[in-house]
Amino acid sequence: GHDASVVRRHPLAGTPGRPHYGRPNGVGRDEPSVDAATGRPVAGDPDGVDTEGVVQLADGTYWMVEEQRRSLLHVSAAGRVLARVVPLGVRREGADADVHPVLPEAYAARRDNRGFESLAASPDGKRLWTMLQSPLDNGGEKEVRKAGNIRLLAFDPAAGRPVAEHVYRAGDPTDRDYATRGVAPADVKICALAMIVAGALLVIESHDTGRAVPYRIDLAGATDTLSRRSAGDGPTLDETRDLQAAGIVPVGKTLVADLTPLLPAMRRAGYGGDADGPLKLEGLAILGPD
């Protein structure tokens, strides 16, 4: 085995030095966090974050994603939040960090507790890739769930803005109905991303049945949907089941492995903390070409 030790610890804080906590932002329809001692909801915090992914760039700064307000955070090497990037129309009165509403407006429709949970950086550090954990609540619930369209966003950290978006379609890409009807498993979650090479990523797709399936994502040929808008009363991108008819090519998906059989042994070995329910893999790293 390999021993690990903490070499540095930086509290996440705003530019004035006030620590950031995991409290909810106190806006929208999210379920409140409750004080265990009193049973009363915890007051909202405009700087509250539920961080889920992190990368460090060559300049020493970090980028993080979080799922409460589906935002990206630019953080100094010492842990100070320099900027928070949120969807268009999202306001942050009283926030410490500079707030930049530049993400697509539709991202504000994310499901409760299903914001960004994965983040990867391109080899040259010029692109960040992040994916929403689940399909957006942007359209009819039944259609959205059946389509299984999850948005993969490319972000330029130097310019501070998104530059591309592609559709990742949940489910088995070899199924004959994959591109035309959707074959999304129930309650799918994307929990981790890692960059393989430029144009190719590794992703873990988790299902509520306890499955954990890594796929290779290839971006070549995928439609850029960043500026795509619904036509009148037509379906939103998120509820479009027939991608073929809509002229949308999703990212390529190639099965790498099925980790599901390993999960019970990992649970018995002490991974995952809570012993109830299936183990969910929420982190991913590539150590070498194999």
Span 140-189, pLDDT tens digits: 888 999 999 999 999 999 999 999 999 999 999 999 999 999 999 888 99
How far is 233 from 105, CA to CA, in rounded Å?
18
What H or E segment, with its residue span, contains residue 268? helix 263-268
CA distance 27 to 289: 44
pLDDT value of residue 112: 67
Q: How far apart, in whole angstroms, are the C-alpha atoms of residue 127 and residue 129?
A: 7
Predicted TM-score (pTM) of the model is 0.90
3-state secondary structure of 25: coil
Residue 235 tokens read as 């379906």
Q: What is the pLDDT of residue 231?
A: 56
* CA–CA gap between residue 270 and residue 223 (Å, rounded): 42
Beta strand pairing status for 98-103 and 161-169?
unpaired
pLDDT at 170 (0 to 100): 96
In the structure encoding, which two tokens stand for residue 61, read together?
């700064």
Residues 199, 287: Cα–Cα separation, whole Å: 18
pLDDT at 75: 96
Token reading at 156: 């330029």
Q: What pLDDT, on a 0 to 100 scale, did the predictor assign at position 45?
A: 83
So what's the pLDDT on residue 35? 84
Flag residues of the chain having pLDDT under 70: 1, 26-31, 92, 111-113, 229-233, 272-278
